[in-house]
């Protein structure tokens, strides 16, 4: 079941030639495919699974806190739903160098491609850009006396990490993401 969800999610940024006829039900959310972005890695654009777009808009995932708690592991819930942070150099993806796609651990939406991952030395997976800008939501985070931009999954609102203006070219951004907030789909 987990792999089916991941496969469904990979197609969220699908570069399909036309909208899919079939709708997939996920809770009360209808999910359909549409052409959105030509700057999508091959692993996503070759997918034949319907995406999480309907009429060109990302379909949101809304669940109760109890539902999230029952579906996520304890650490995933703490980070994704309670805006926690895993300790540096402890996640299973910070040192991953395999080709593939990093998807939200909460809803499976593809967020980052391995081609945009770089070594930041921080102990968390770091990327210089998301697969699509509409897959990521930023919001101001003033916790702990700091001014930062928090990064959330635009589909389910799951906390991913933060974005900083000290990344490499071409964007100059560093999306510093918790490993526990991501699942990796190997290419």
Separation in Å, CA 141 to CA 60, 83, 161, 177 = 22, 10, 10, 15
Which element (helix H / strand E) includes 174? strand 174-177
Walk along the chain (187 residues) and give the pLDDT tens digit of each residue. 343 333 334 333 333 322 222 222 233 232 323 333 434 444 444 332 345 667 777 888 999 999 999 999 999 999 999 999 999 999 999 999 999 999 999 999 999 999 999 999 999 999 999 999 889 988 777 676 777 788 999 999 999 999 999 999 999 999 999 999 999 999 8
Tell me which of 107, 135, 156, 176 is the catalytic residue. 176
Is the pTM higher than 0.85? The answer reads no
List the domain boundaries for the chain: 2-58, 65-186
* Pairwise CA distance, residues 63 & 73, whole Å: 15
H or E element, residue 24 = strand 24-26
Class of domain 65-186: mainly beta
Distance in Å from the first CA to the final CA of the chain: 19
3-state class of 113 per DSSP? Answer: strand
Q: Respond yes or no: is residue 156 known to be catalytic.
A: no
Q: pLDDT tens digits for 13-47?
A: 333 322 222 222 233 232 323 333 434 444 444 33
Is residue 136 within 8 A of residue 154, CB to CB? The reply is yes
Check residue 144 and give its pLDDT.
66
């Amino acid at each position: 079941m987990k792999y089916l969800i991941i496969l469904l999610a990979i197609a969220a940024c699908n570069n399909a030639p036309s909208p899919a006829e079939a709708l997939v039900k996920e809770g009360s959310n209808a999910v359909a495919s549409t052409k959105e972005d030509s700057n999508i890695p091959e692993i996503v654009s070759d997918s034949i699974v319907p995406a999480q777009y309907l009429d060109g808009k990302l379909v949101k995932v809304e669940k109760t806190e109890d539902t999230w708690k029952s579906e996520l592991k304890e650490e995933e819930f703490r980070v994704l739903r309670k805006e926690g942070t895993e300790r540096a150099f402890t996640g299973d993806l910070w040192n991953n160098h395999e080709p593939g796609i990093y998807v939200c651990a909460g809803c499976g939406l593809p967020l980052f491609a391995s081609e945009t991952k770089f070594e930041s030395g921080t102990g968390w997976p770091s990327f210089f850009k998301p697969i699509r800008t509409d897959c990521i939501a930023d919001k101001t985070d003033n916790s702990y006396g700091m001014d930062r931009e928090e990064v959330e999954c635009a589909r389910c609102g799951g906390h991913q990490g933060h974005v900083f203006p000290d990344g490499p070219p071409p964007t100059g951004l560093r999306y510093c993401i918790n490993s526990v907030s991501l699942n990796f789909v190997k290419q």
